[in-house]
Amino acid sequence: MFNQNRIYRLFQLINFLKARPAKSIRSIEAFLETSERTAYRYLDLLKDLGFQIEKDKHNKFFIVAATESEQIPFTPQEADYLKKLIVSAGKKNKLADSVLQKIQQSTEIALGGDSLFKAHLAKIVEQISIAIVEGKQLLIKGYSSANSQSISDRLVEPTCFTENYDSVSAFEIKTKLNKYFNIERMTSVEVLDTAMEYETQHEFFKPDIFGFQGKRLNKEIELEMSMRAYLVLKEEYPMSARCIKPIPDSDKYYFKAKVQSFKAPGRFVLGFLAEVKVLGSKEFIRFIQKVVKKNS
């Protein structure tokens, strides 16, 4: 049975092989972050699913991209099963949105009016993927910044997506900084013909569970929460789930994690002051006290 990660990898590989130029087995191996043997298994699986894998004169692999309306070779039963499996991954996963869009376009399976994806976000994810694979600069149009409270275009060199495809890590050319850009805050994107120029300055630091990027996780948070606060935290920040444990013989939940910044967890705590008890760290307690005093 396919698991969700394997499905995502398959669709990533399809787009990777359709994008010019053809790919060596080494580049496929690096792209999938797996062994050569497993890379060949993925290629065989694509063949079994009906994709025509071609080789050029240098023994590099590619899939001939016909038209945008080219159908994915799934039967209606397979597509329905795949749709249900992808939906179970969660409504906030942008890659799942992209996969669902392709399923709907390529089959008669209808997802309904209350679909969990937005077509334009799926298109944005696809275009960013192309820029990353082809090493091109990307123009993010109409980006809404939460920090500056402004909307502007951003010229960037994208490096990689975050775990759930909510954001993309990119080097912003104007500021010469590596930043995260939230997919939902983008109006549209354009892959430029200009090749990346600042690759030596690209950095990727895995974000904390609240989505903040930094060189090290040097701040700690420890909380005791009500069930309602726990459910909201898990819904808003899905990666927090692994840091939460139920407290035995109570209706409370315990949360402990290292983070890059106190800003997002601080906003969460301030929104649930009556339902969240801050146990630590002392630095975070002082941060909350300072904000409360400033707003009182």
> pLDDT tens across 30-39, in order?
888 778 888 8
- Name all domains of the chain by residue range, CATH numbers in brackets: 4-120 (1.10.10.10), 131-201 (2.30.30), 219-295 (3.30.70)
> pLDDT tens across 188-209, in order?
899 999 999 999 998 877 778 8
In 73-185 the beta strands, taken as DSSP E runs, fall at 136-145, 150-161, 167-172, 177-182
Name the token pair of 130: 């192309």
Q: Is pLDDT larger for residue 4 or for residue 183?
A: 183
Name the token pair of 151: 């909307």
**In which band, very low, low, confident or very high, does the pLDDT at 250 lie, cut at 50, 70 and 90?**
very high
Ramachandran category for residue 220: left, alpha or beta (phi over 0 → left; psi -120 to 50 → alpha)? beta
The residue type of 170 is: A
Cβ density class 108-129: b for 16+ within 10 Å, e for less: ebeeeeeebbeeebbebbbbbb
> pLDDT tens across 91-121, in order?
455 555 555 555 555 544 343 333 333 456 7
